[in-house]
Amino acid sequence: MLVTVDDDGRATAVAGDPDHPITAGFLCGKVSNYLDRVYSDERVLHPLVRRGPKRAGAFRQASWDEALDLVAERLGSVIAEHGAEAVLPWSYLGTMGVLQSGIVPYRFFNALGATDLERTICADAGIAGTVSAHGVSPEVDPERWPAARHLLVWGWNPMSTAPHLWRKLLAARRNGARLVVVDPYRSRTARVADEHLRPLPGTDAALALGMMRAIVDAGLQAEDWCRAHVAGYDDLLAVLDAWPVARAAAVSGVPTADLARAGREFAEAQPSLLRLGVGAQRHAGAEVAYRTLACLPALAGSWRHEGGGCSYVPTATAGVLLTEPLKGSEWRPGPVRRINMSRVGAALTDPALDPPVAALVVWSGNPAQVAPDQGRVLAGLRREDLFTVVLEQVMTDTARHADVVLPVTTALEHCDAHFSWGQHYLAWNEPAIAPLGEARPTADAFRALAARMALEPREAFVEDDDAILARLFAGEPGGVSLRALRERGWMKIDLGQAPAPHADGGFGTVDGRFQVRAEWLAEQGKDPCPAYDPPAEIADRALAERLPLCLLTPKTHLFLNSTFADQARQHGAQPEPFLAIHPDDATPRGVANGDRVRVWNDRGEFAVVARVSDDARTGVVVAPMGWWSRDALAGGLHAQATTSQALTRVASAPTFNDNRVEVARA
């Protein structure tokens, strides 16, 4: 992002860097008006202290000294009464960057001895599955995607969530590539695909097994490459013996002919690229599903070609900055308990939890809207005996429940270094303007609080950003020096990845071969080979009799989860939450387009406007997420009121899309 600043120090424009090979001179619809956020009337620019009950959301302005003294005193009281594990941090990547979201805040809670937050809310289940198959390896570089001739986009809507990467897919299409999208919902990307396969949620592994069986039935497997570079190839063939195409079609709900054709075309049209998104890993069996999906390009020999193979989170390049050694886990006084971030509702409301969560500190996140089982999350946040601190840019629904709100900077007002979620670049975040009001960088806020609480080792909180970054970039990881990064603004990570990084194997596994078997799964009593590990609620036939519809909660086009949902342009373009429902499901329930409907299960309910169309497949309803409580039709609740706090079976990741509900006119 390039920022124009006038002589008075005010930012006047933002634009994409035209020299960056991925950004290519444009910004997505979420941040192309980022100055509206920086200069928003809703910016929190001074410390705030609650007055009155939490439900009222009333605050008074305070000084930083008063706010920090209050936080230090209250956290100290909680620790004195219950121990440090009664303090729960909650954060993710609302403010990205290694300094602001990670290193310094983590140091604070490690030195405190607080509960350790297990941060798995995004892509961890899929990463566990794919990494167990091909290791931490360079994946297909998006700059090579235009060479592909077949694009299989699975559980991903790049038109809305990755428009810069969508540009690379469009280049491949201009070169003659066919685009096939796998998604139960007709997303924007699915609308423009050459073919759209619509499996039942959570059945992705069954669909992949059927596609691989179709490849073998047609004799299209890359026999020589697999014999040379796939460990357990015969095990994979044995698994496929038990998965005739008709069986896979019956489980997944994809017609047999469509499934078989999709498998054959993926193997025939080389180079073929499988690009996975996070949507298909929101169910109980996700890790096994993504292991199974990763086998598809191996069986087809897609890795042999430039632009072919599997792409998900580029773990090798994204992990080149080793932040863990700088977070200070060794400063903990001893072992501390772990609480998963997707189970914050239970953590805040469980009377048997010992010690209780008596203090909550939130930064870079908005659990009131994005955590599952929203009703329990809000009930916990409303506890008058819970001391809550929120570091924020705007008054989110979580911040409205705080006792103290500390104002923090936006990306234009602080420095940081960033990894790239889906590309092979590091980026430098140079502050363009001075912090507005009394806002401080998140890292500085935690340093100040650590000083108030006299946390040790003192030098960890005296160390400034430059010193931390110098240590982080020592040795020039991935060929990137801090000096060059700051001068250029971005640099490509060089791990020696070739145009076809695994044409001759060289995967990041013990023997360099793609691994069909995962012995660590066997040690947990699971099938170590590719398999269909069924979802929990979706595969529960007894539950389906009472709650016959599966609910998906994908991202919207213009909100980033719940971020930007308060901004006028983004909100104006998508002003109200809705439920997509197929006519075959709407008609027997007496639901017409535009009706207000009630959606419920045993966890909770929400009200929403129905959009009757075949964008949702039969048996599946779709309620995109991200709107704030003020947009809710009833009780401040949205679709997350119905989602489960249950976690995936291996990586302890959330199961947002493993959810059964019923719908009726409100």
Give the range among 42-46, 57-61, 137-141 with minimum mean pLDDT: 137-141
| % of the chain exceeding 90 in pLDDT | 96
User: Of 212, 314, 206, 216, whose CA–CA distance to 254 is shortest?
Assistant: 206
Mean pLDDT of the region 146-164: 98
According to DSSP, the residues that pair with 551 across neighbouring strands are 621
H-assigned helices in 463-598: 465-472, 482-488, 519-523, 541-546, 568-573, 583-586
CATH code: domain 125-312 is: 3.40.228.10
The answer to whether 294 and 129 are in contact (CB under 8 A) is yes
> Could you please report the per-residue DSSP string of 253-321?
---HHHHHHHHHHHHHSSSEEEEE-SGGG-STTHHHHHHHHHHHHHHHTGGGSTT-EEESS-HHHHT-S
pTM: 0.97
Say what the alpha-carbon torsion angle 629, 634, 640, 643 is, to the nearest 10 degrees.
160
The 3-state DSSP class for residue 645 equals: coil
Domain 40-121+329-492 annotated CATH 3.40.50.740: yes
Predicted confidence (pLDDT) per residue in 458-482, tens digit? 999 999 999 999 999 999 999 999 9
Predicted confidence (pLDDT) per residue in 618-661, tens digit? 999 999 999 999 999 999 999 999 999 999 989 999 999 999 99
**pLDDT score at 526:** 79
**pLDDT score at 96:** 87
**pLDDT score at 138:** 87
The structure tokens listed for 411 are 């990306």
Distance CA 319, CA 440 (A): 28
Predicted confidence (pLDDT) per residue in 362-400, tens digit? 999 999 999 999 999 999 999 999 999 999 999 999 999
How many separate helices (H) and strands (E) can be counted in the chain?
25, 26
The answer to whether 426 and 420 are in contact (CB under 8 A) is yes
**pLDDT score at 428:** 97
Q: What confidence tier does 612 reach under pLDDT thresholds 50, 70, 90?
A: very high
Domain ranges across the chain: 40-121+329-492, 125-312, 541-665
Residue pointed to by tokens 């960890």: 460
Distance CA 535, CA 548 (A): 15
| % of the chain exceeding 70 in pLDDT | 100
What letter represents residue 536's amino acid?
A
Mean pLDDT of the region 416-433: 95
Q: What is the maximum span of the chain, computed from C-alpha positions, in angstroms?
A: 73
The answer to whether 81 and 359 are in contact (CB under 8 A) is no
DSSP state of 99: I
First to last CA, the chain: 45
**What is the rounded radius of gyration, in angstroms, for the C-alpha atoms of the chain?**
25
Residue pointed to by tokens 């923090």: 408
**pLDDT score at 494:** 96
Distances (CA, A) of 292 to 350, 532, 533: 37, 8, 10
**pLDDT score at 527:** 85
HSE of 239, CA atoms in CB hemisphere, 13 A:
24
User: Of 343, 277, 203, whose CA–CA distance to 647 is shortest?
Assistant: 343
Is the pLDDT score of 596 beyond 90?
yes
DSSP state of 232: T
The total of other beta-carbon atoms located within 10 Å of residue 509's CB is 18
Q: What confidence tier does 519 reach under pLDDT thresholds 50, 70, 90?
A: confident
The 3-state DSSP class for residue 346 equals: helix
Predicted confidence (pLDDT) per residue in 447-460, tens digit? 999 999 999 999 99
Distances (CA, A) of 607 to 410, 546, 593: 33, 19, 14
User: Of 666, 645, 113, whose CA–CA distance to 656 is shortest?
Assistant: 645
Q: What confidence tier does 421 reach under pLDDT thresholds 50, 70, 90?
A: confident
The answer to whether 6 and 20 are in contact (CB under 8 A) is no
Is the pLDDT score of 522 beyond 90?
no
**pLDDT score at 205:** 98
According to DSSP, the residues that pair with 150 across neighbouring strands are 178, 272
188-218 residues labelled b (16+ CB within 10 A) or e (exposed):
ebbeebeebbbbbbbbbbbbbbbbbbbbbee
The mean of the pLDDT values for the chain is 97
Q: What confidence tier does 525 reach under pLDDT thresholds 50, 70, 90?
A: confident
Give the dihedral sign, CA 510/323/326/124: negative
According to DSSP, the residues that pair with 243 across neighbouring strands are none
Q: Which CATH architecture has domain 541-665?
A: Beta Barrel (2.40)
Predicted confidence (pLDDT) per residue in 486-512, tens digit? 999 999 999 999 999 999 999 999 999
114-124 residues labelled b (16+ CB within 10 A) or e (exposed):
bbbbbbbbbbb
652: left (phi over 0), alpha (psi -120 to 50) or beta: left
The answer to whether 617 and 185 are in contact (CB under 8 A) is yes
Give backbone dihedrals phi and psi of 394, rounded to 5 degrees, phi first. Answer: -135, 165
Higher pLDDT, 57 or 115: 115
According to DSSP, the residues that pair with 612 across neighbouring strands are 581
